[in-house]
Amino acid sequence: MSFIHSKSEAIRRLQARLFNSRFFTISVILHLFLVLMLGSAVIIQSSAPPADFTGGDGNGKFVQEQQTAPPPPPPPQNQNIQQPTVQNKALTETIRTENANAPMFVAPVVVAPAQPAAVAPGKIAEIKIKTQQLSLKQQQAIKQFTGGWSKGKGVGLGSDKTKEREFEFVAYLAKYGDPSDPARGGDWASTSIIKDGRIVKGSLPNLLRFMVMFSKGKIKANAIAEPLDLSSDDIFVKKPPFIFFTGHRNFVLTEREVQNLQKYIQLGGCIWGDSSLPGRRSRFDLAFRREMRRVIPDADKDWELLPENYPIYTKNLYYPEIKSPQPGLNFYKEPIYALKFGEEVAIIYTANDYGDMWRMAIDEKWQIDKTPGGPGSGDLLYTDLAMFQRLDIYYRGLELPHIINSYKFGTNAVIHLLTRWEDRLKSVPSGL
């Protein structure tokens, strides 16, 4: 009996211990259950071996040995893209030389033929960027339009005699868009000061003044501002070698402005765009590239970079030491972008903001001119002292060597625009 009693007592003690450690007991039971249920499950399944791959395709990519043919491309869809049309008139501020009695030349109206056709007498052929071949009539029209830019002594001298040549020309600061109209936009006077609708100070007048001063008067471009309607035919009477576009904002040209600019570049003129927001993808950058593709709309022709062996850097250089684009505001050094007509640049675009560099006028001692006016400059001398006083705070790159080099680069670019047709048209007979 004592044995049975002892055994019962031991069982009760075991039960008490198990009850006191019931959480441990439950855990043990659950683990045993999971082992029994999952002991035969497959934890990792074997995978099929990968397909065989051969070496590279030459571009660092592997090529699968057996490849299925790609699906055929979808059929092309006709897209009717309508260019924005605006009926408002735009003005251009002209910066004019002293030659007020230049011979007049009125460009005939250009009519785009439905099918290729011979050019009627007195007409100028429609833009033909794809062929790049200019008819005799086109070459004669360009020679007549551009022939008055070289004057007197020095005409026809070689590239090493550029400083001995004499030039006389007009240049325009394009007044485009309407800041009060969101559909047109634009801020064409971003590097100029306007009073009563006239340019009284500005970066472009500073560049022309620099050219006059350091050519010792052989380049005649004494700037006087007067309004010019870009949608009128006055542009073909004044015969500028280039029209200067600048600004910060988006803008849209009218259809009439686009048509006049098309005729203008056919006659040998050039459009020069310079962004006041240096670098790519700014509002002006996108707008200028887009609007100029309306002026030269051929799908086969797109913006190209001018290499550093292009004649703008190598031929007829006024300053031979400048052989590449110079740093602009904030040290931007983008290349020159261009659209061509007849194998010559018709539109150039500098995204480095040279206009703000030219807001610092240079005097005859190659120093920044801080006086309110200079000899013979009238009100047009312009140094933005507030901008100059904020150097290295809001603006970088406005040190004197960079400013001088930007003026020299601008001078070389203008001389190229004045002379780029000469050699090609030398043997073309004059007259239409």
Average pLDDT of the segment spanning 411-431:
91
Give the tens place of pLDDT for each residue, 321-340.
999 999 999 999 999 999 99
Average pLDDT of the segment spanning 42-57:
39
* Confidence grade of residue 232 (pLDDT, cut at 50, 70, 90): confident
> Where would I find the beta strands (DSSP E) of 279-350?
304-305, 336-341, 344-350
* Confidence grade of residue 50 (pLDDT, cut at 50, 70, 90): very low
Determine the Cα–Cα distance for residues 336 and 320; give it in Å rounded to an integer: 18
Nearest in space to 331 (alpha carbons), one of 273, 403, 281:
403
Better-predicted residue by pLDDT, 173 or 41? 173
Determine the Cα–Cα distance for residues 159 and 149; give it in Å rounded to an integer: 16
Annotation: CATH topology of 91-109+123-425: Rossmann fold (3.40.50)
Residues in the chain: 432
CA 193, distance to chain mean position in Å, is: 24
Give the tens place of pLDDT for each residue, 270-286.
999 999 999 998 999 99
Determine the Cα–Cα distance for residues 32 and 197; give it in Å rounded to an integer: 95
Sorted by where each begins, the domain ranges of the chain are 91-109+123-425
Determine the Cα–Cα distance for residues 383 and 312; give it in Å rounded to an integer: 28
At 2 the pLDDT is: 53
Task: Give, in order, the Cα–Cα distances in Å from 427 to each of 83, 151, 302.
Answer: 40, 19, 30
Percentage of the residues of the chain whose pLDDT score is greater than 70: 62
Nearest in space to 123 (alpha carbons), one of 145, 134, 138, 133:
138
Give the tens place of pLDDT for each residue, 195-208.
887 788 889 989 99
Give the tens place of pLDDT for each residue, 58-112.
343 333 334 444 445 544 444 444 444 444 444 444 454 444 444 433 333 333 3
Give the tens place of pLDDT for each residue, 11-23.
677 666 655 655 5
Determine the Cα–Cα distance for residues 364 and 111; give it in Å rounded to an integer: 49
Better-predicted residue by pLDDT, 186 or 265? 265
Neighbours of 371 (CB within 10 A): 11
Do 75 and 196 meet the contact criterion of CB atoms below 8 Å apart?
Answer: no
At 289 the pLDDT is: 96
At 420 the pLDDT is: 94
Indicate if the pLDDT at residue 42 is higher than 70.
no
At 132 the pLDDT is: 59
Indicate if the pLDDT at residue 217 is higher than 60.
yes
